[in-house]
Structure 1
Amino acid sequence: MSVTIKTPEEQRLMLEAGRAAASVLSMIAPHVKPGVTTEALNQLCHDYIVNELKGIPAPLNYGGGGGRQPFPKSICTSVNHVVCHGIPGEKQLKRGDTINIDVTVIKDGFHGDTSQMFYAGEPSVLARRLSEVTREAMFAGIRKVRPGARLGDIGYAVQQVAEANGYSVVREYCGHGIGRVFHEDPQILHYGRPGTGLELVPGMTFTVEPMLNAGRQDVRLLPDGWTVVTKDHSLSAQWEHTVLVTNTGYEILTLRADEKVPH
């Protein structure tokens, strides 16, 4: 699969899909509290995407093959030591739990993909700091996006923030190109060396979505074929935005209406 360069019209449609995905996270925020089940959050997001946005939840029935079942829900809910791809279920959130909600909406054939961390009540000092540093690392990577930059510049920036704060970067899962296809080239690693990798050109769209662990970087896949957890049971956090390479820098396509971009 080659890297797709989006036309101005395709960029407009990507922005619409991105804004739609962002609005799902804004909608669900007040519902994340102790006692709610991740399945209830899934149902709220599904109904909003389908009925209000007239969109399609991309994760639902995505993937599968090779003995693995397609993803069975409309969002991913990754709680505490779950790194990514947590499947919503009947487990209730407890006070102090952290949860990443990952949303991808298809609108007019294009994908908008974004995730953020939420707290069920007041989190621990460690959990809050891990979440905040992960968000800072994501934006450090995004700020490197411009024509002529290299993919390694993004990964290096993310890795520097993570490791300077004592956290480890998950290696097995990364960002990805996105457009008419959910996952396309290039892969966006969250570690690397500056000046290496593919050169960025205007019209590229991809996600920056670092996963940082409070403990070791090692992860394992659960028997359901989707849920990824930290091997040492340490906390994990993730933030994600879909980004467009513009003629002069970048545009975040999934920026939420209430979201402030750090400088």
Structure 2
Amino acid sequence: MIVRKSAQEIEAMARAGAVAARAHEAMRDALEPGMSTGDLDAIAEREIVGAGAQPSFKGYRGFPGSVCTSVNEQIVHGIPRSDVILQAGDLVKLDTGAIVDGYHSDTAVTWIVGGEDAAPPEVRELVARTRAALWAGLQAALVGNRIGDISAAVEAQSQSRAYGVVKEYVGHGLGRALHEEPQVPNYGRAGRGPKLVRGLVIAIEPMFNLGTADTEVLEDDWTVVTADRALSAHWEHTVAVTDDGPRVLTARRDEPTYPLDEPDRVPGRELVVDASSA
């Protein structure tokens, strides 16, 4: 069942989103070669708990951390560890969320450890185009559109580089539960699927791979990796569908909350291709 959120519920989710965004900013500012993924998890948990919120992920189905920390060929759901030491040029995907007044947020980033110059051009482009796919999907989250319009907008950004688009793991609704209906695939046809209505809150989260779209789960029963061990990128935001346009509830301070009102601040806007012509 798809649960629409009231204006008051969306405000609670926006507060949860702001907490998760600040946690991401703290991790980004601290990130450097030589630190562990466990260090990043501790930073995020400190920020979330310090804001009076709860981590969405810690204890969820037994997950041990406040952040999923996935490195290089790991796509998603990596477990933070003190013995996983980050090196310059690594891709680290950080996925976290916060609970405020019983409502969840969910947001993910991909950073290059040591800065963009630490990775070759094709890796920088993978990160940038996956982020652009996220924002293309967010901008399609309009009243009257359908889930397929978001999916098609995301998938179109992968096609010029023939990236592998992960199919087993998709975006989703959220609210009082971390995962609700509807599912939001990163591939599909425009005009298909459930209609987007005012009050719908969803997480959009493209995952693009430099190689195959196929995935495997490691023996820890959490960490998802590319089947060919090629690099992967992952970006995610929580967005509310409103009469005023898509409202990004997890936007960081360098990103727009209403992307249609602030197109010049949309990350990777120069990379976005029109889904209808892809």
Q: Which runs of 5+ in 2 are unaligned?
A: 256-264, 270-278
Shift of 1:48: 1.7
The CA distance in 2 between the partners of 1:54 and 1:71, in whole Å, is 21
1:109-148 map, 5 Å: 109-121=102-114, 122-148=118-144
Instruction: Name the structure 2 match of 1:67.
Output: none
Contact 2:23 2:43 in 1 (8 A): no
CA contact (8 A) 2:126 2:210 kept: yes
| Native 8 Å contact 1:133 1:165 kept in 2 | no
1:24 match: secondary structure: helix
- 1:170-227 CA distances to partner (integer Å, 9 max, x unpaired)? 0000001011110000000010011100000000000000100000100001111110
Which residue of structure 2 lines up, in the alignment, with residue 53 of structure 1? Answer: 51
SS of aligned partner of 2:84: coil
TM-score (normalizing by structure 1): 0.95
Amino acid at match of 2:250: T
Q: Does 1:94 align with 2:87?
A: yes
1:24 paired residue number: 23
| Matched pairs, number | 255
Q: CA RMSD in A?
A: 1.0
Q: Percent identity?
A: 42
Matched, 1:261 2:253: no
More displaced, 30-39 or 229-238? Answer: 30-39
TM score, norm. by length of structure 2: 0.90
Runs ≥4 residues deviating over 6 A: none
| Alignment correspondent of 1:171 | 167
CA deviations 1:134-169 (Å, max 9, x no partner) are 001111111111111011111111111111222121
Contact 2:152-2:189 at 8 Å conserved across structures:
yes
Instruction: Determine whether 1:41 maps to 2:37.
Output: no
Q: 183-192 or 139-148: which moved more? A: 139-148
2:130–2:206 CA contact under 8 A, matched in 1:
yes
Gaps in structure 1 of 5+ consecutive residues: 64-69
CA offsets, 1:240-263, max 9 Å, x none? 000000014211011101223245
* Correspondence list, 1:114-263, <5 A: 114-121=107-114, 122-259=118-255, 260-262=265-267, 263=269
Q: CA deviation at 1:33?
A: 1.1
The question of whether the paired residues in 2 share the 8 Å contact of 1:245 and 1:251 is answered with yes
User: Are 1:117 and 1:237, in contact at CA under 8 Å, matched by a contact in 2?
Assistant: yes
**Alignment correspondent of 2:13:** 14
Verify: 1:103 aligned to 2:99, yes or no: no
Aligned residue for 2:156, secondary structure, equals helix
Q: Contact 2:56/2:105 (CA < 8 Å) preserved in 1?
A: no
1:72-126 CA-partner distances (Å, limit 9, x unpaired)? 1110001110000000112100111010111110111111111111111122222
| In structure 2, C-alpha distance between the alignment counterparts of 1:45 and 1:236, rounded to whole Å | 22
User: Does 1:82 pair with 2:80?
Assistant: no
